[in-house]
Amino acid sequence: MNKQLPFSLYPRLTERTDQLIQLRWGVVTGALAASFGADFLFPDSLPMPILIVIAAVITIYNGLFLLYASRLHTTTSKDPERLYMRFANVQIMVDIIALTVLLHFTAGIENPFYLFYIVYITAASILLPRVYSFLYAGFASILFSALVVAEYWQLIPHIHLAGFVSPQRYQRGLYVTVVLFALVGTLFICAHLASAIAEVLRRREKELMESNLSCEVRAGELARLNARLAELDKARSQFIRLVTHELRAPVAAIQSYLRLILDGYVPPERQMEIIQKSERRALEQLALISDLLDLARLQEKRDETEPELIDVADILHGVTDLMQARAEDKDLLFSVEVEPDLPPVRARPEHVKRLWTNLISNAIKYTEPGGIVVVSLLQNPNYVVGVVRDTGIGMMPEQMPRLFEEFYRTEEAKAMERQGTGLGLSIVKRIVESYGGRIWVESEKGKGSKFSFALPKAA
């Protein structure tokens, strides 16, 4: 039931509010018992019906406080601390008034329970800011002084406990003054000490809560990092498995070709053919290794050269001759459209060359003879945008998100073109992203694909 207020300057207000209510049940029971005891010892001295009424009033308002507290514990208010403090103020004020009334009907200054004011000053010190301790010390002092002075001047009647203390004590000016002086002094000293101690405790509690909170936050961060590490570790293991598999295949093929020759299974006139096959597999292996090295270099951001201001169109023109020749070999229509006056971008020339070669050779590779490959270069307000469009095999929507993963090749691509590492697009993606750009694809199976990249214009 005692929920903790969120990050309060007055920690455990909920718990302490409940304690104050419980204390009041004890007080009212004790007060009634003491009154009956006094009535027994000093018959007909105390106005018992009035005392019972006062006890009933205290019981009722404590019941109301209890109800209010249970509502307050489930409040959705944005500032529950303010509500709790207001509630504590009301309780302490009402209690001090009730105690004064009770004292009046139980022999006033003759009743040593006036010391009970100290309890409420202590409660105020614990529950409320320091200034309130002094305010309530003042409030209690004024009420009690007014009571005894009013009785002293006989403005109100004094109820005397005959036989408890000497009669007419409340009429002795010196006694009244000394008691008042002692009580008021005690109340203020108590307010000072209790609120100072409470303040230190509150500060410590707050610091503790703060460090607890930051520990929790850090633990959460650590857990997140741990999960991310585990994910990366899994991805790394998977990557190593894939790499070893890819590296093993050509070596195994070359080894078996050589074994065929060495064991004399290949007649001399076919040996050349087998050696050429072996060389092709060795070249594939080399291409794979060089792609892997590029990928590792990009991953570690380990580059010897600094990015420079380059003209993306220049680099495109540098590769078009070779690409044009390849396209013609495959009977493809190849064209290049470049917007004039394109601004430079900041990048490494070899990276941009790789970008163009990869996208254009893919377009050529995955387009059937008779198809078209169009390369265009344009700009928008912040980026220089390159586009490679083809009328090739295209792909299905579910294949597109996996395209930039290492070693991913669609089944259709594998069937059409045996050669390919499946690393080109992941290298290209890393290149583009390392310069703050992005790359994306639009495609339709059987209709063709459009790969676009955007590189930020140099400032």
Q: Which residues bind ligand ADP (CB under 6 A)?
A: 358, 362-363, 366, 390, 392-395, 403, 408-410, 413, 420-425, 449
Q: Which is nearer to ligand ADP, 258 or 416 (CB)?
A: 416
- Taking the complex as a whole, the smallest distance from the CB of residue 439 to ligand ADP amounts, in Å, to 11
424 vs 437, beta carbon nearer ligand ADP: 424
Q: Is residue 167 within 8 Å of 45, Cβ to Cβ?
A: no
Closest to ligand ADP by CB, 27 or 292: 292
Kindly state the DSSP code that residue 399 receives in the 8-state scheme: G
Residue 241 beta carbon to ligand ADP: minimum distance, rounded to whole angstroms: 18
Q: How far is the CB of 428 from ligand ADP (least distance, A)?
A: 7
Q: Which residues lie closer than 8 Å to 123 by C-beta, 6 or more apart?
A: 20, 23, 88, 92
Give the Cα separation of 326 and 336 in Å (integer). 14
* Of residues 145 and 324, the one with the C-beta less far from ligand ADP: 324
Give, in order, the Cα–Cα distances in Å from 183 to each of 17, 78, 194, 282. 26, 40, 16, 102
What's the min distance (Å) between Cβ of 240 and ligand ADP? 19
The whole-angstrom separation of Cα 386 and Cα 351 is 14
Q: Which is nearer to ligand ADP, 110 or 406 (CB)?
A: 406
Asked if 367 and 394 touch (Cβ cutoff 8 Å), the reply is no
250-257 long-range contacts (CB < 8 A, ≥24 apart) are: 250/281, 250/282, 250/284, 250/285, 250/288, 251/285, 253/277, 253/278, 253/281, 254/278, 254/281, 254/282, 254/285, 257/281
Exposure of 452 in the CB half-sphere (CA atoms within 13 A): 14
DSSP category for residue 155 = S
Comparison of 28 and 364: residue with beta carbon closer to ligand ADP: 364
Distances (CA, A) of 233 to 50, 62, 238, 375, 401: 80, 62, 9, 39, 22
* Cβ contact 367:448 at 8 Å: yes
Nearest distance from residue 266's CB to ligand ADP, in Å?
A: 30
Identity of the residue, 68 or 408, whose beta carbon is nearer to ligand ADP in the bound complex:
408
| CB nearer ligand ADP, residue 109 or residue 395 | 395
CB 8, min distance to ligand ADP, A: 57
Q: How far apart are CA 211 and CA 215, in angstroms?
A: 6
Smallest distance from ligand ADP to CB 212, Å: 50
| CA angle (155, 158, 160) in 5-degree steps | 165
Contact criterion met (CB below 8 Å) for 139 and 93? yes
**Toward ligand ADP, which CB reaches closer, 80 or 420?**
420
Among candidates 392, 384, 403, which has minimal Cα distance to 453? 384
| Closest approach of ligand ADP to the CB of residue 363, in Å | 4
Q: Reduce the DSSP state of residue 302 to 3 states and report it.
A: coil
How near is the Cβ of 260 to ligand ADP at its closest, in Å?
A: 28
CB of 435 to ligand ADP, least distance (A): 19
Of 167 and 401, CB closest to ligand ADP: 401
